[in-house]
Amino acid sequence: MALCHPTNIEDYILNAIAIKHNDQIIDLQTAAEMGFEGEQIHLDNSPESLEVLRHSTAHLMAQAIKSLYKDAEFYVGPVVKEGFYYDFKTSETVGEADLKNIEKEMLSFAKKKYEIEKYEISMDEAKEKFKNDHLKLSVMERIPGDRVSIYKQGEFEDLCRGPHLPNIGLIRYFKLTKVAGAYLGGDSKNEVLTRIYGIAFADKEALKAYLDQMAEAEKRDHRKLGNEMKLFTFREEVGAGFPIWLPAGGRLRARLESLLFKAHRKRGYEPVRGPEMLRSDLWKTSGHYQNYGENMYFTNIDEIEFGVKPMNCVGHIKVYEEDLHSYRDLPLKYFEYGVVHRHEMTGALHGLFRVREFTQDDAHIFCTADQIEEQIIEVVDFVDKIMSTFEFDYKMMISTKPEKAVGDDKVWEISTNALKNAMDKNKLPYEIDEGGGAFYGPKIDIKITDAIGREWQCGTIQLDFNLPQRFELEYNGEGNEKIQPVMIHRAILGSFERFIGILTEHYAGEFPMFIAPTQVAIVPVAESHKDYAKELSDKLIDIGADSEIFAKNDSLNKRVRTAEKTRVPMIVVIGDEEIQNKTVAIRDRRSREQYNLSQEDFLKLIQTKINEVNF
């Protein structure tokens, strides 16, 4: 297919902005010189088109920045999942308020409709050209070969491999979204550059849809909803990263805990509990003192140093040590809603997603090497049961042996294969994170995506050969020989804090009946109906449901509205009619319907809804 060389912007919109050749996006500048033919890419919102558009928008932004900040030097400006960014440096401070100015400048450049030209020069020439930009020079250090391409639009030139739009006039619908600091090369030892993020689309509608979607996501932010629904709070005087659970959050959490408790008992786990602080000597034995001490909190009691636990393994090991064990006893499974403290860096704290004190649904399985696979399968199954109950999309990653590791290769191979087999047998997809395992063993991480697309690790399943060895754990084998057990460290929700945060965003606060802080809102029509409301409320408690009576001295409409705003799953209105007929008038939030039920059927319905979920 021949390529046209349009003479005005409108023609570009009609014609291709780039072509796709052997799955590679080739811009017109490159195609013109190389004569490639291929599938046309038009300016639309396809991934290929957006890739080109956003890359060029990043350049346009750099052009605007250069024009506003004369001493600006530029590092890299790639296209990423959520748009694009450019890292740069200037002597002036760039804040959020400056984004509008930069956008304005970008638009005024775009109006000039500069052609984006491409030419190649030798590396030496490039180094001469960018000799005043030490950031660009450091980019060049990493480029192999001795020729580089330069893209030029108006006076602005940038070292770049492309692909780019043919003309900057095509860039119209974009927005600079955030300004941030970022370490050069992603390494905290390096200097900090200014990074501006932006987004661009082919048309106005797509940009608007994107911005609306972001605004929607913001509404379901668990920090906002947690505040509105009074689930939890943080207070400056209490300290950063230490959540306070309010009654509504406490009820929700208690429901989750009790469901999960039963689920563990069904699978043969025994509840145990270790102390909150253990002597530092134990942390030295486990290796945490040496390797992770800077993330732990320590205190002295009678001149003996104690470490507040950052995990529950050691406590469970002490449970294991309390008895002699036979191979016949294994697997042994201990679980605990273990409160742990970790010194997270201030900048890492984020609502309930990242805190300094949290409760893990933690368990340790002590088993024989032969049992690893079946135990993994059981845990993966457990995870899937819970994730599918909540309709979560989740992703699993198997992390393999890292550089720094303990245990011999053979054991690593067996355990890594055990993880892979378990996944394959369940036909569960997974990704491999090569070398991303813990130093004591490979692991499977379960990641859930939040309302704005960020991935958060929740559950984890880790094979541990290190701690059993360090603590010299053993059991008696068939021939009465001493054998070292294998330890599987696992958490399914990960932590109640993070999981409830994600649940809140997932349901936008509209929790399903079985987990909701309050199951039913009761609205008596008039004062004379309050007794019946109380009666109903008591009956609900008897079947394990929480309710709230809205009997304030307000209009009925107002109280229905208030009840609705609490996001309670079901509202029942009761008045003379209901009392006389022993019925309730139901308003179901999910189905948006109103209907009547006899009191008996209503209670049965609630009971069914609460009990229909088991993990």
Partner RNA sequence: GCCGACAUAGCUCAGUUGGCUAGAGCAGCUGAUUUGUAAUCAGCAGGCCCGGGGUUCGAAUCCUCGUGUCGGCACCA
The interface with RNA within residues 79-98 (CB under 7 A) comprises 93-97
581 beta partners: none
Q: Which residue has the tokens 């190649």?
A: 120
The correct pick among 4, 143, 209, 240 for binding RNA (CB under 7 A) is 240
> Shortest distance, CB of residue 604 to RNA, whole angstroms?
19
Our finding on whether 36 is near RNA (CB under 7 A) is no
DSSP code per residue over 261-278? HHHHHHTT-EE----SEE
Question: Which range touches RNA (CB under 7 A), out of 47-55, 117-125, 160-168, 190-198?
Answer: 190-198
553 lies in the binding site for RNA (CB under 7 A)? yes
Q: How far is the CB of 173 from RNA (least distance, A)?
A: 21
**Least distance to RNA, CB of residue 343, Å:** 7
Query: Among this protein's residues, is 364 annotated catalytic?
Result: yes
| Residue closer to RNA, measured from CB, 125 or 577 | 577
Closest CB to RNA among 131 and 590?
590
Compute the distance between CA of residue 49 and CA of residue 16 in angstroms, rounded to an integer.
Answer: 10
234 binds RNA (CB under 7 A): yes
Is residue 348 close enough to count as binding RNA by CB under 7 A?
yes
Q: Which two tokens stand for residue 597?
A: 């039920």
Tell me which residues in 97-126 interact with RNA (CB under 7 A).
97
**Residue in 222, 342, 354, 498 annotated catalytic:** 342
Residue with Cβ nearer RNA (316 or 354): 354
How many chain residues are in contact with RNA, going by CB under 7 A?
Answer: 75
Near RNA in 288-307, by CB under 7 A: 288, 291-292, 295-296
- Which member of 36, 173, 183, 261 binds RNA (CB under 7 A)? 183
In sequence order, the β-bridge partners of residue 456 are: 448
Radius of gyration over every alpha carbon of the chain, rounded to an integer in angstroms: 30
Q: Cα dist. 429→68, 270, 393, 462, 548 in Å?
A: 49, 30, 12, 18, 43
Residue from 162, 166, 169, 241 in contact with RNA (CB under 7 A): 241
Using the Cα atoms of residue 329, residue 331, residue 336 and residue 342 in order, give the sign of their dihedral.
positive
Catalytic residue (choose from 264, 309, 443, 529): 443
Closest to RNA by CB, 414 or 525: 525
What gap in Å lies between CA 337 and CA 358, rounded to an integer? 10
To RNA, the closest distance from the beta carbon of 185 in angstroms equals: 9
Kindly name the residue from 360, 371, 519, 599 that is annotated as catalytic.
360
Complex with RNA: residue 345 or 541, whichever CB lies closer: 345
Q: Which helix (H) or strand (E) holds 573?
A: strand 570-574
Range list of β-strands (E), 99-213 = 117-122, 147-153, 156-159, 173-183, 192-201
- Here's the x/- map for RNA, 361-400, by CB under 7 A: it reads as ----------------------------------------
Report d(CA 399, CA 411) in Å as an integer: 15
- Of 392 and 456, nearer to RNA (C-beta) is 456
DSSP-assigned letters across all residues of 334-385: EEEEEEEE----GGG-BTTTB-SEEEEEEEEEEE-GGGHHHHHHHHHHHHHH
Closer by beta carbon to RNA, 223 or else 609? 223
Residue 575 near RNA by CB under 7 A: yes
What's the closest the beta carbon of residue 484 comes to RNA, in angstroms? 20
Q: Give the span between the Cα atoms of 43 and 52, in whole angstroms.
A: 9
Least distance (Å) between residue 577 CB and RNA: 4
Q: Tell me which of 253, 364, 420, 506 is the catalytic residue.
A: 364
Q: Say which of 313, 371, 445, 587 is annotated catalytic.
A: 313
Under the binding rule (CB under 7 A), the answer on residue 7 touching RNA is no
Name the residue nearer to RNA (CB basis): 48 or 98.
Answer: 98
4 is an active site residue: no
CB of 228 to RNA, least distance (A): 7
Smallest separation (angstroms) from RNA to the CB of 354: 7
The torsion angle over the Cα atoms of residues 473, 474, 475 and 476, rounded to 10 degrees, is -160
Sheet of 332-341, strands arranged across:
270-271, 332-341, 357-367, 486-495, 455-464, 443-449, 394-399, 431-433
- Nearest approach, Cβ of residue 356 and RNA (Å): 9
Among 14, 254, 345, 541, binds RNA (CB under 7 A): 345
Work out whether 526 is an interface residue with RNA (CB under 7 A).
Answer: yes
Binding segment for RNA (CB under 7 A), chosen from 137-145, 172-180, 407-415, 423-431, is 172-180
556 forms part of the interface with RNA (CB under 7 A): yes
The Cα angle at residue 520 between residues 515 and 521, in degrees rounded to 5: 135
Contact 274, 315 (CB under 8 A): yes
> Least Å distance between CB 486 and RNA?
17
Among 538, 576, 600, 601, binds RNA (CB under 7 A): 576
362 is catalytic: yes
Please confirm, yes or no, whether 313 is among the known catalytic residues.
Answer: yes
> Please, what sign has the CA dihedral across residues 405, 410, 415, 420?
positive
Under the binding rule (CB under 7 A), the answer on residue 452 touching RNA is: yes
What is the per-residue DSSP string for 104-135?
Answer: HHHHHHHHTT-B-EEEEEEHHHHHHHTTT-HH
Distance (Å, rounded) from C-alpha 48 to C-alpha 411?
Answer: 45
Report the alpha-carbon distance of residue 224 to residue 228 in Å, rounded: 6
Task: Select from 2-10, 117-125, 136-144, 525-533 the region that touches RNA (CB under 7 A).
Answer: 525-533
Residue 220 token pair: 């379901």
Interface positions, 455-474, toward RNA (CB under 7 A): 457
Query: What's the CA gap between 253 and 479, in Å, rounded?
Result: 47
Give the nearer residue to RNA in terms of CB position, either 291 or 591.
Answer: 291
The distance of closest approach from Cβ of residue 370 to RNA in the complex, given in angstroms and rounded to an integer, is 25
- The amino acid present at 494, given as its one-letter code, is G
Task: Assess 178 for contact with RNA (CB under 7 A).
Answer: yes
**Which residue carries 């450019």 as its tokens?**
86
Q: With respect to RNA, which residue has the nearer C-beta, 132 or 557? A: 557
- Contact call for residue 310 and RNA (CB under 7 A): yes
The answer to the question of residue 429 lying near RNA (CB under 7 A) is no
| Residues 419, 373: Cα–Cα separation, whole Å | 7
**Both tokens of residue 347?**
């900048």
How many helices (H) and strands (E) would you count in the chain? 20, 31
346 forms part of the interface with RNA (CB under 7 A): yes
So which residues are the catalytic ones? 313, 342, 360, 362, 364, 443, 489
